[in-house]
Amino acid sequence: MNRLTLLTTKECHLCGAARDALDRVAAETGEGWTEVDVAGDPALARDYGDRLPVLLLDGREHGYWDVDVPRLLRDLKA
């Protein structure tokens, strides 16, 4: 199971940059990540749909709209 989950949807114009940032983090740390389209889950769409993309670290919200790479790298090491 991956520690990182990126919540997205097809209409998300910021999700491509978030994917790129997570690919860089994965290359540096070896940490995998999973993408979930909130359109397939009404509860996720309700909770996160207006803030996509949302990054979850260990199931908890770590940030939204962009990936703060330095903060994420620090928190992955903690």
The predicted-structure confidence for 6-27, as pLDDT tens digits, reads as follows 999 998 999 999 999 999 999 9
Q: How far apart are CA 2 and CA 74, in angstroms?
A: 17
Question: Which stretch of DSSP H or E encloses residue 4?
Answer: strand 4-8
Average pLDDT, stretch 26-51?
95
Fold category of 4-77 in CATH: Glutaredoxin (3.40.30)
Checking if the pLDDT of 1 tops 80, the result is no
CA–CA separation, 71 and 78 (whole Å)? 11
Tokens 């199931």 — which residue? 59
Quote the pTM value. Answer: 0.94
